[in-house]
């Protein structure tokens, strides 16, 4: 039986990953410091005999015996990662060092949940893995963007220097049940505001674009990447290549929720990317993967989750 460590396992994507690994017969060690992870995300897993929860901060070394590591530990929404930017950078950099050290000692594969934010505000569209990015190293988003870029550097240096079996996934915008209602991300923001019939906040003119991948599809991709041969390192873009403007998303959410919300326009945050869409040809070729959940289907499931969370029924 494979014993798998998932750091950030009580987070949005991490909790879905823990659940899927259990379904596949793994023993799962879920590690989280609960800065942004929520115990409610994994409470239904606590009765599983093959599930173990450990409260731990990955900026400190971790001494456990496992067969594989998924490193998802890091606040991922601007509100959360800008709350304590020094700690955000430490989580990415020291967390990578500590977990790579563990993988080196145990001689096991390790997957890094990197991010599309390594591309910054891209000058190339769509973004391919060969693009080096356009990132402000001293802005308010830098703690996350540069922390993740440094983590990728560490992963590839450990791979070259110590022969560690690494997998690097560049995760693009992902949404679904268990998103935090106040995480400041566009999908959760729009849905919560719409369900409360509050004005929907649009930054800039709403013409900036994003591509939205449902969490089930993302978990499929992460598990497929971990299952590849040891020479397959990535980085691989993982996300949905279908692009939507913020205005299109807002109108779709208002329509799906039957909301009375109006749109309110605010200044664009500093360094906010204007376009974000992954080129996923490598993921198609290497993993045989592409997302299958349409935005309307995924939004319906996400809207219902937030209705339940906000106790709005329906």
Alpha-carbon distance values, 160 to 107, 145, 150, 176 (Å)? 14, 23, 15, 36
DSSP 8-class letter at 305: H
> What string of H, E and C letters represents the secondary structure of 201-264?
EEECCCCCEEECEEHHHHHHHHHHHHCCCCCCCCCEEECCCCEEEHHHHHHHHHHHHCCCCCEE
SS3 167: strand
Distance (Å) of CA 194 to CA 187, 261, 284, 297: 11, 6, 35, 17
**Is 305 in the active site?**
no
Whole-angstrom distance, CA of residue 72 vs CA of residue 7? 5
Q: Check: CB of residue 59 under 8 Å from CB of residue 94.
A: yes
Selected catalytic residue, list 70, 81, 119, 144: 144
Helices (H), the chain: 12-23, 39-42, 78-81, 85-106, 142-162, 186-195, 215-226, 246-257, 281-287, 295-309
Positions marked catalytic: 144
């Amino acid at each position: 039986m494979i014993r798998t460590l998932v750091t950030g396992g009580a987070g949005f994507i991490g909790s879905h990953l823990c659940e899927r690994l259990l379904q596949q017969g793994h023993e799962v060690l879920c590690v989280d410091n609960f800065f942004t992870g929520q115990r409610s995300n994994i409470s239904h897993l606590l009765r599983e005999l093959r599930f173990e929860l450990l409260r731990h901060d990955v900026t400190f070394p971790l001494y456990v015996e496992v067969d594989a590591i998924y490193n998802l530990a890091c606040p991922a929404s601007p509100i959360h990662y800008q709350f304590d930017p020094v700690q955000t950078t430490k989580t990415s950099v020291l967390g990578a060092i500590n977990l790579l050290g563990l993988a080196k000692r145990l001689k096991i594969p390790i997957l890094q949940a990197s991010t599309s934010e390594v591309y910054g505000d891209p000058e190339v569209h769509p973004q391919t893995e060969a693009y080096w990015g356009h990132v402000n190293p001293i802005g308010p988003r830098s703690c996350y963007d540069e922390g993740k870029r440094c983590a990728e550097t560490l992963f590839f240096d450990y791979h070259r220097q110590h022969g560690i079996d690494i997998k690097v996934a560049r995760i693009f915008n992902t949404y679904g049940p268990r998103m935090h209602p106040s995480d400041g991300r566009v999908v959760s923001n729009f849905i919560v505001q719409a369900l409360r019939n509050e004005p929907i906040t649009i930054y800039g003119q709403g013409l900036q674009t994003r591509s939205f991948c449902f969490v089930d599809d993302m978990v499929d991709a992460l598990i497929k990447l971990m299952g590849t041969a040891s020479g397959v390192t990535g980085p691989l873009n993982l996300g949905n290549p279908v692009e939507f403007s913020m205005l299109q998303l807002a109108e779709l959410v208002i329509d799906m929720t039957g909301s009375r919300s109006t749109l309110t326009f605010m200044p664009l945050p500093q360094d906010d990317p204007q376009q974000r869409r992954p080129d996923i040809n490598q993921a198609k070729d290497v993993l045989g993967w592409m997302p299958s959940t349409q935005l309307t289907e995924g939004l319906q499931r996400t809207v219902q989750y937030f209705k339940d969370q906000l106790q709005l029924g329906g």
